[in-house]
Amino acid sequence: MSLIQEVIARVEEKDPCQPEFHQAVREVLGTLEPTVAKHPEYVKAKIYDRIVVPDRAILFRVPWVDDRGEVQINRGFRVQFNNAIGPYKGGLRFHPSVNLGIIKFLGFEQIFKNSLTTLPMGGAKGGSDFDPKGKSDAEVMRFCQAFMRELYRHIGPDTDVPAGDIGVGGREIGYLYGYYKKIVNEHTSVLTGKGMEYGGSLIRPEATGYGATYFADEMIKTRGKTLAGKIAAVSGSGNVAQYTIEKLNQLGARPITVSDSDGTVVDESCIDGDKLAFVMDLKNNRHGRIKEYAEKYNVPYYPGKSVWEVIKDQGLRVDTAFPSATQNEIDGEHALALVKNGCYLVSEGANMPSTPEAIDIYREHKVLYGPAKAANAGGVATSGLEMSQNAMRLLWSREEVDERLHGIMRAIHQSCLDAATAYGMPGDYLAGANIAGFVKVANAMVAYGIV
């Protein structure tokens, strides 16, 4: 058994019941074999064993009172995984599926993603099994306040700076930050994704979706093509999906799908203009279900089906795919159906949306595959730009932030290609992203000695 395989086996033995974390460790470490031979200093300092154990994992009780006056209890998590290259940074997820294993998978991936951004940020993730769906604004506010009542003691502008993720958007960040400011009595950059009135950055809401599209644009150019005219399948209808669709439209592509956890809409005449504005209003203001889109525009709706199931069942032809909902949404069969229906590019807006079997199929069929930690790094990169603006007490224009985001996505694309070539796997974006992200963190860890 190789050293890497031994580390993976130890993780599986020590952390049973954390399948998503095992999957993320296998996905990252599985591509790091070439670094073992090249870097005996990593082996000596046991970097591979150390990097899979979080610096600390905080689990806490979140008691709050609902609108009927009943006490509710949720679990809160913050996993501060690695701060070798900068303060911990990573989002908060509010979703009933949240548990320690999911937060560890997200925090682990975040280490390498943040390293790739070129900015000095460590990796962390947090959240709660609280379900914002169906809750009143007052309930969401009371929950956020109860959550921050404990979280505040573990975070700080130079310690740990959380942001949004699934179920945590502008409204939740407002409540969380408002309460932090109240109890700590400091107006400081402790959360990103803030509103424009109180320290937010222009382009932060757009950044993950725009970034995933910029990354796709770079990948497709390596084959002498552009996104213009290409049919795109997008899953989800939240923050990442909305701005992926917006940027795809700006680049002349044709996004034709949108979904939520209840079903999928297919609009082959393209989701653009007023239709995208409808999705944004439906999801961001009215907190409604995507089915309403199908009713309003009289297009097919597939209840209970994901975008990828619809592509498989209906034989829907697409050129490109932008999974932007959740982990493991594309399995091997979905990937095969994508390839059969003409898809040759996948840019991951969501975190770990493709199963290992799906990734094997992309590689086998030479699909241009932009892995999440590279393709969706635009969100955290722009969070980093929000922190910089807060520190300088400045506000950059939309154009300036977008230009920096675009530059960062180009740099990430190039460093994936460079690392893949340097370590003997030319054109392999997954290996390139993992190796480029890892080497920087590993070098810092070696420099610190045994701490």
Structure tokens at 255: 């996004």
Which residue is catalytic, options 113, 125, 275, 373? 125
Does the protein bind ligand NDP through residue 129 (CB under 6 A)? no
Q: Is 236 helix (H, G, I), strand (E, B) or coil?
A: coil
Q: Which of 54, 167, 200, 370 binds ligand NDP (CB under 6 A)?
A: 167
Do 116 and 377 form a contact (C-beta atoms < 8 A)?
yes
- What's the closest the beta carbon of residue 345 comes to ligand NDP, in angstroms? 18
Q: Are strands 368-370 and 345-347 parallel, antiparallel or unpaired?
A: parallel
Contact track, ligand NDP, 191-220, x by CB under 6 A? -----------------x------------
In three-state form (DSSP H/G/I as H, E/B as E, the rest C), the secondary structure along 395-445 is CCCHHHHHHHHHHHHHHHHHHHHHHHHHCCCCCCHHHHHHHHHHHHHHHHH
125 counts as catalytic? yes
Q: 303: how many CB neighbours lie within 10 A of its CB?
A: 9
Q: Which amino acid is located at 172 in the chain? A: E
Does the protein bind ligand NDP through residue 325 (CB under 6 A)? yes
Does the protein bind ligand NDP through residue 388 (CB under 6 A)? no
Structure tokens at 363: 């590689």
Does the protein bind ligand NDP through residue 371 (CB under 6 A)? no
- What's the closest the beta carbon of residue 167 comes to ligand NDP, in angstroms? 5
- In the bound state with ligand NDP, the residue whose beta carbon lies nearer, of 167 and 371, is 167
Q: Which of 349, 371, 384, 437 binds ligand NDP (CB under 6 A)?
A: 349
What is the footprint of ligand NDP within residues 235-274 (CB under 6 A)? Answer: 236-240, 260-262
- In the bound state with ligand NDP, the residue whose beta carbon lies nearer, of 28 and 445, is 28
Q: How far, in Å, CA of 313 to CA of 174, rounded?
A: 41
- In the bound state with ligand NDP, the residue whose beta carbon lies nearer, of 160 and 260, is 260
- What's the closest the beta carbon of residue 246 comes to ligand NDP, in angstroms? 13
Q: How far, in Å, CA of 186 to CA of 239, rounded?
A: 28
Do 89 and 123 form a contact (C-beta atoms < 8 A)?
yes
Binding site for ligand NDP (CB under 6 A): 164-167, 169, 208, 236-240, 260-262, 324-326, 349-351, 376, 379
